[in-house]
Amino acid sequence: MFLCQNLEHEGSSIIAFCLSADCQEPKSQFSFNCLINPQKHQNCRIDCKPFDKIDTLLDLILYKLDKMLEQTDQKFELLKLEYEKTIKIIQQEQQRFYEIIKNLKEQKYQEFLDNIGKIKNWNTIMKSTQFEKELLISG
C-alpha cells in the first residue's frame, strides 16, 4: 500500500497527489494529515488533486492528445496536397521541355521560338545556382 512518508504522519494513506510543477515538497503524494497542514503545498493547493480529479485531468489530456493527432493529420493532408500540386507543376514543365527538345531536333524553329520566353527564364535560374552552373560548364 502507498502511504504518507511525512514523519509526523507516516503510515496515513494517500488521498491525493500534488500536480504542481513548482511544488516545493519533496514528495508529490500526500495524506489527509498533509492536507490540513497549512505549511504544506502552500502555493499549490489548487494543484493538489484527489484521485477522481486526477482521473478527469487524465481524460482531458487524452482528449487533447487526440485533438493534436487530428490536427497533425489535417496538416499532413494539406502538405500532401501542396506536394502533389508541386509534383504536377514540375512534371508539366518537364513535359514541355521534352517537346521543346523535340522541336529543336526536328528543326521546328517557329515552335521553338514560341517557347523562347520559358527557356530564357530557365537560363536565368540555371545561372543563379552553383550546382547547375557546374553542370553547365562541365557539360
Residues in contact with Zn ion by CB under 5 A are 4, 6, 9, 18, 20, 23, 31, 33-34, 41, 44
Q: How far is the CB of 62 from Zn ion (least distance, A)?
A: 24
Q: How far is the CB of 59 from Zn ion (least distance, A)?
A: 22
Cell 514560341 belongs to residue: 114
Nearer to Zn ion, 47 or 100 (CB): 47
- Tell me 12's DSSP state: P
Q: How far is the CB of 9 from Zn ion (least distance, A)?
A: 4
Cα 44 to its chain centre, rounded Å, is 31
Nearer to Zn ion, 23 or 100 (CB): 23
What is the helix (H) or strand (E) element at residue 110, kind and residue range?
Answer: helix 109-114
Q: How far is the CB of 30 from Zn ion (least distance, A)?
A: 5
Task: Determine the straight-line distance between the first and last CA of the chain, rounded to whole angstroms.
Answer: 78
Nearer to Zn ion, 9 or 108 (CB): 9
Nearest 5°: the CA angle 130, 131, 134 is 85
